[in-house]
């Protein structure tokens, strides 16, 4: 692409349409009876044959999940599976109460997760309603080659390769097209390339539209003739319908047999540069064109991109963390439950009772409400994010959102407004001047053809200047001119001129605007506007000019380079005075001996909100990297303006041929990745993930879809392409980075509350099981009944229901966090056993003070005492573990958490005194002498836990 995209070079290469299998070479001796002479518009018979061969012009833009797939995913959570296994074991041993409690927890967890994800899926489907666009198609009548050409409106789904279509401003390109003829035809390829400036498309003069058929074919045999493809004589690919059926039933992706290689992706991008080709997903900005369809549906470049997304999405950081934590529970059970079973069996000589007790220990070690607490926390996070204009498609994405330490984002439309504006207008010295602005406006205003986006930017800026009364003369001068003639733009001259005459017939003015070198080459003089008081002086030719020397030309070209290096698109403006009544008509020869007036420089400016959002992301320790298909110079300009520190700039060509290790090192240092292919974007994200980062990617174009799939968190917007919305985990209803900042904070809050419960449950339960090991090896009776263990665990878990409504310390929200099995294990080993110290103290107190030493003594009192101590210490520990600070002094929990703590502790103290409940649970009244001991245990436990926290933080420099 040239810097002046509206005035780019003509491509003299012949058209070589590509398909999903490479470059096509069509037979010169095609069957005219099938095609019709000259490959003109198709007949209805040909359209029917082609539709049978190629199918409708539609494609799957992502992996859709049915309600039963969402339900299946909600049920088959690792924690749910663990509980189902334990519930099944309990049922086999006739522990039906235990089984009922566990299955109830699984049911609540599954319903919560299913409800939230199904609600998000419905919301997303509302955003993804596909509208069947109508396009004007030219086809032949029933008279075959002699039939008249008929224009009709048909659905874009009904297009077939070979169809002729007309394109108008505001339409989406319905398929991959080659241009037959066009007039000032500009399309926006931002969704495909990330390039903000629309590009002009036109028919290449050297292209023989009738030797390269757009009627391609997607079957595997490239040697088949085009006639064979049209008549349907093809060899279909072998299919696996049974495998495909089961993969779809279980919500698994149906793999494409081909993989889009990086070389093919680069070829795609190179073809996007070809002026004679338009691609599905582009938008027509201005002008008109008649085109022939080259490819439809999954054979388009868009379709090729979609097929790449059919592969299975890699596990994200949250999924890996959940799987690893599940293994912690399995391994801890394997290590602790067998010793408890053996010790109990040999000591009490009742192996069935020993097995039942060991099973209750396993249940006690497993936090039954973990899935429910986690899903409740995630559901609350999803609700909070919806208030911040986000739709969360997958609940897991909330945790990952809080964990991201690198946000990769596209530039166009995300950091910028995706609207071209006139940024600067300067004279020969690079100083702001109204001369090029005024002349450029007259050129754009009086063009007879529809204006391109750069002309629209000039007119818009000029109108704004008039409204702001920047120069009163501006509002009156345009009315003093009439259009005499026009020299239209072409791709050899790369400039456009208008000839204007003043109403008083005093002057005739030629104003030329176009690519810098082409305009300067026609200039012989240069305007000296240092003494220019107003534009009247220039119009009346009362302003100084001097010859344009070689050295002056060099300075002008250097100024152009400086503006271009600042990320601006540059046009040159020149003018001259003509004879009012020339002998010959005005022509291209009049574009000579021009007076250079200055430059117009354009930019897709950054959003006003981007600077504050970037600052906030950096403050929250989230690096921002820009991955775009646009120019590196433009990206640098935008990054400087919004405060992204730029260290290293990498282009797509820099990545070619690099080893994986080189790429992994480079992505750490670089800030801007420009001119990337879609596959290279996903490669950069993958390399960052392999370096240990949790990566979020934000994009809305087709070229962003592979990276959205690869990222830990894919973020798109409701105005993005359908394929991106279906590939994303989170959809923003506002295209604003500030929404991302809010989502990061909500994600960290959600992560903190989720992990808070996990580490509390793991450490507390580990301490209890360790205490049971000690008691089993020492006491000749069970220190607590199976029902006591289950009830204690259930009451403790109920107290944790309020955790999703807890808050985190501000310091916690300032840094990203990631799931770490090592951290959970450290926490379990370092914090968990401290509770055992007080459990053993309770054993000693009951053993010696109350004399409960044999099965014949009051074992019920012993069990009731340990039940009460265990429940109260477990419940109180919530406040010790939720923060590294001193609880109730430096940090208070939220009101719901405090209320639930007080409530459950009150229930625990009161259970022995409720007749029916105490009888069912086999709890006894506790004597008054026990309560001073209980108070001392609680105070001592809090002090020791605080000391353990200080030691833990000092050793590991973290708190979960």
Closest CA to 379 of 711, 740, 724, 803: 803
> What is the token pair recorded at 788?
């006591």
Contacts 24+ apart (CB under 8 A), 141-145: 141/43, 142/43, 142/44, 144/36, 144/43, 145/32, 145/36, 145/37, 145/40
Q: Is 184 a catalytic residue?
A: no
- Taking every pair of Cα atoms in the chain, the longest distance, rounded to a whole number of angstroms, is 130
Q: What's 565-604 look like in SS3?
A: HCCCEEEEEEEEEECCCCCCCCCHHHCCCEEEEEEEEEEC
What CA–CA distance (Å, rounded) separates 434 from 600? 10
What CA–CA distance (Å, rounded) separates 942 from 874? 11
Residue 222 CA neighbour count, 13 Å, CB half: 8
**Residue 251 main-chain phi, psi, to 5 deg:** 75, 20
> What is the token pair recorded at 794?
């259930």
C-beta neighbour count of 432 within 10 angstroms: 12
C-beta neighbour count of 152 within 10 angstroms: 10
Cβ atoms 62, 722 nearer than 8 A:
yes
- Beta-strand ranges (E) seen in 323-447 are 390-392, 406-409, 421-426
Of the listed 176, 396, 405, 410, which one is catalytic? Answer: 410
What CA–CA distance (Å, rounded) separates 65 from 70? 6
Cβ atoms 785, 922 nearer than 8 A:
yes
Q: 903-917: string of b/e by CB count within 10 Å (b at 16+)?
A: ebbebbeebbeeeee
Q: Using CA atoms in the order 230, 155, 700, 260, what is the torsion angle rounded to 10 degrees? A: -10
Residue 722 CA neighbour count, 13 Å, CB half: 19
What CA–CA distance (Å, rounded) separates 186 from 202? 9
Question: What is the three-class DSSP state of 515?
Answer: coil
Torsional sign, CA 221, 224, 230, 236: negative
> What is the token pair recorded at 874?
């477990």
Cβ atoms 673, 653 nearer than 8 A:
no
Mutual angle of helices 895-910 and 786-799, in 10-degree steps: 160
Closest CA to 727 of 748, 751, 702, 762: 702
What are the C-alpha distances in Å from 773 to residues 95, 271, 603, 782, 784?
22, 70, 71, 11, 12
Question: What is the three-class DSSP state of 134?
Answer: strand
Residues carrying an active site annotation: 410
């Amino acid at each position: 692409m040239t810097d002046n995209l509206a005035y780019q070079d003509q491509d003299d290469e012949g058209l070589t349409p590509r398909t999903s299998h490479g470059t096509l070479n069509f037979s010169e001796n095609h069957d005219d009876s099938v095609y019709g002479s000259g490959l003109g518009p198709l007949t209805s018979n040909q359209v029917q044959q082609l539709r049978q061969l190629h199918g409708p012009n539609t494609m799957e833009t992502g992996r859709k999940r049915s309600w039963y797939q969402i339900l299946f995913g909600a049920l088959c959570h690792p924690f749910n599976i663990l509980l189902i296994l334990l519930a099944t074991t309990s049922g086999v041993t006739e522990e039906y109460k235990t089984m009922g409690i566990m299955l109830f927890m699984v049911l609540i967890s599954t319903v919560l997760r299913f409800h939230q994800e199904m609600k998000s899926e419905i919301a997303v489907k509302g955003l993804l309603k596909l509208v069947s666009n109508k396009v004007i198609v030219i086809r032949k009548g029933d008279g075959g080659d002699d039939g008249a050409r008929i224009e009709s409106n048909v659905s874009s789904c009904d297009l077939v390769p070979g169809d002729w279509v007309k394109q108008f401003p505001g339409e989406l390109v319905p398929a991959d097209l080659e241009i037959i003829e066009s007039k000032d035809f500009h399309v926006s390829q931002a969704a495909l390339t990330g390039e903000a400036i629309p590009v002009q498309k036109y028919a290449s003069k050297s292209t023989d539209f009738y030797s390269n058929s757009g009627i391609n074919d997607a079957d595997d045999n490239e040697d088949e003739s085009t006639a064979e493809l049209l008549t349907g004589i093809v060899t279909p690919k072998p299919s696996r319908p049974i495998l495909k059926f089961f993969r779809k039933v279980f919500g698994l992706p149906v793999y494409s047999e081909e993989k889009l290689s990086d070389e093919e992706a680069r070829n795609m991008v190179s073809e996007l540069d070809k002026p004679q080709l338009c691609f599905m997903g582009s938008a027509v900005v201005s002008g008109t064109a008649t085109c022939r369809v080259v490819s439809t549906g999954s054979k388009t470049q868009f379709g090729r991109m979609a097929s790449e997304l059919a592969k299975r999405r890699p596990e994200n950081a949250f999924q890996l963390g959940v799987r690893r934590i599940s293994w912690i529970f399995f391994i801890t059970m394997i290590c602790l439950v067998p010793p408890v079973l053996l010790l109990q069996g040999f000591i009490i000589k009742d192996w069935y009772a020993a097995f039942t007790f060991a099973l209750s220990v396993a249940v006690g070690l497993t936090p039954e409400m973990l899935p429910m607490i986690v899903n409740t926390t995630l559901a609350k996070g999803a609700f909070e994010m919806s208030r911040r204009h986000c739709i969360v498609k997958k609940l897991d994405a909330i945790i990952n959102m809080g964990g991201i330490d690198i946000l990769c984002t596209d530039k166009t439309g995300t950091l910028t407004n995706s609207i071209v504006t006139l940024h600067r207008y300067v004279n020969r010295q690079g100083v702001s001047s109204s001369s090029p602005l005024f002349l450029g406006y007259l050129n754009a205003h009086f063009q007879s053809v529809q204006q391109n986006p750069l002309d629209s930017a000039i007119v818009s800026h000029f109108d704004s200047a008039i409204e702001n009364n920047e120069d009163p003369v501006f509002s009156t001068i345009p009315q003093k001119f009439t259009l005499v003639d026009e020299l239209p733009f072409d791709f050899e001259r790369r400039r456009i001129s208008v000839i204007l005459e003043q109403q008083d017939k005093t002057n005739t003015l030629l104003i030329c605007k176009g690519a810098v070198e082409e305009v300067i080459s026609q200039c012989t003089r240069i305007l000296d506007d240092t003494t220019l008081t107003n534009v009247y002086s220039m119009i009346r030719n009362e302003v100084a000019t001097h010859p344009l020397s070689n050295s002056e030309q060099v300075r002008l070209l250097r100024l152009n380079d400086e503006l271009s290096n600042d990320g601006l698109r540059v046009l040159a403006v020149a003018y001259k005075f003509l004879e009012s009544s020339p002998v010959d008509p005005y022509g291209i020869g009049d574009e000579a001996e021009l007076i250079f007036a200055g430059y117009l420089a354009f930019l897709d400016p950054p959003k006003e909100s981007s600077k504050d959002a970037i600052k906030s992301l950096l403050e929250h320790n989230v690096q921002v990297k820009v991955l775009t298909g646009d120019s590196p110079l433009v990206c640098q300009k935008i990054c400087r303006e919004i405060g992204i520190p730029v260290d290293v700039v990498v282009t797509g060509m820099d990545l070619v041929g690099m080893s994986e290790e080189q790429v992994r090192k480079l992505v750490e240092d670089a800030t801007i990745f420009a001119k990337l292919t879609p596959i290279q974007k996903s490669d950069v994200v993958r390399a960052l993930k392999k370096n240990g980062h949790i990566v979020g990617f934000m994009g809305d174009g087709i070229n962003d879809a592979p990276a959205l799939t690869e990222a830990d968190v894919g973020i798109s917007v409701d105005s993005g392409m359908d394929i991106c919305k279906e590939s994303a985990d989170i959809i923003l209803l506002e295209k604003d980075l500030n929404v991302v900042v809010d989502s990061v904070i909500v994600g960290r809050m959600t992560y903190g509350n989720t992990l808070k419960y996990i580490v509390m449950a793991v450490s507390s339960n580990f301490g209890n099981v360790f205490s049971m090991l000690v008691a089993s090896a020492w006491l000749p009776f069970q220190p607590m009944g199976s029902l006591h263990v289950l009830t204690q665990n259930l009451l403790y878990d109920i107290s944790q229901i309020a955790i999703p409504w807890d808050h985190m310390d501000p310091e916690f929200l300032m840094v990203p966090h990631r799931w770490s099995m090592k951290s959970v294990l450290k926490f379990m080993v370092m914090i968990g056993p401290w509770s055992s110290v007080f459990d053993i103290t309770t054993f000693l107190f009951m053993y010696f003070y109350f004399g409960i030493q044999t099965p014949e003594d009051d074992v019920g009192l012993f069990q009731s005492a340990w039940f009460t101590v265990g429940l109260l210490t477990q419940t109180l520990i919530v406040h010790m573990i939720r923060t590294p600070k001193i609880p109730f002094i430096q940090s208070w929990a939220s009101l719901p958490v405090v209320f639930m703590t007080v409530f459950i502790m009150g229930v625990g103290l009161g259970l022995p005194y409720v007749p029916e409940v105490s009888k069912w649970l086999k709890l006894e009244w506790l004597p008054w002498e026990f309560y001073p001991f209980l108070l001392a245990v609680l105070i001592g436990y809090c002090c020791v836990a605080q000391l353990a926290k200080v030691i833990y933080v000092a050793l590991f420099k973290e708190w979960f």
